[in-house]
Amino acid sequence: MTYYPDYKPKDAAKFSQMEKMFGAVDSADALRSVSMLFVLDMSYDREDILVALGRVERAKGWKLV
């Protein structure tokens, strides 16, 4: 089951880019670092970041705090 399957991103192109980048990392620490790049860039919607991050965390079996 997909995390928030009915979620409609605010910016579909940026959301897709985040999911691809998050999905390419090989550890939870790397995911934390990569996600911070998007958090610090205020042009990315906060909710989009959380949903993309949550989907990758669940897909890879990682739990970030």
First CA to last CA across the chain, in angstroms? 21
Instruction: Read off the DSSP letter of residue 18.
Output: H
Residue 11 has pLDDT above 60, yes or no: yes
Contact 49, 39 (CB under 8 A): yes
> For the residues 3-23, what does the mean pLDDT come to?
96
- Cα–Cα distance measured from residue 12 to residue 58, given in angstroms and rounded to the nearest whole number: 20
Grouping H, G, I as helix, E, B as strand and the rest as coil, residue 30 is helix
Instruction: Read off the DSSP letter of residue 9.
Output: -
**Residue length, the chain?**
65
Question: Which tens digits make up the pLDDT trace of 26-48?
Answer: 999 999 999 999 999 999 999 99
